[in-house]
Amino acid sequence: MSEETIMQGKASWQLEKTNPKEAELLKESLRNVHDPELGYSVIDLGLIRDVVKEENRAVITMILTTPFCPYGGHMIEQVRMAAMEALKIDVYVDLRFDPWDPEMMEEGADMDWGFL
């Protein structure tokens, strides 16, 4: 998957192709990691852009809703810990600073942010 594909539109994890059951387990685990300001999970927001499982670790490509998110470090560590627990291997989170867009949100995510 090219870097351009990873960062545009909906996320598509390589792990979903190589091991769909593990990908679903990981996704469910990461639904418990929330952006404290928005109240949505990193899955609902589409912040987990890719997951690749290597021989002895997984690499998670992640973005934040804003580059200077005050909770970024905390969320990254929560993602890493939740993924390690779900996958039972070491996890590295590759943080990218690509712009987030609400179009990246998971289908069906309730976007009632009270703006209207």
The highest-level CATH class for domain 3-101 is: alpha beta
Nearest to 74 by CA among 29, 42, 51: 42
How far, in Å, CA of 116 to CA of 26, rounded? 34
Q: Tokens for 92, please give them.
A: 């590295």
Separation CA 116–CA 113 (nearest Å): 8
pLDDT at position 2:
45
pTM of the prediction? Answer: 0.86
The model's pLDDT over 56-89, given as tens digits with 9 standing for 90+, comes to 999 999 999 998 899 999 999 999 999 999 999 9
Please check the confidence at residue 19 and state whether its pLDDT lies above 80: yes
Residue ranges with strand state E in 15-111? 48-53, 57-62, 90-95
Q: Where are the domains of the chain?
A: 3-101
Please report the pLDDT score of residue 116 as a whole number.
38
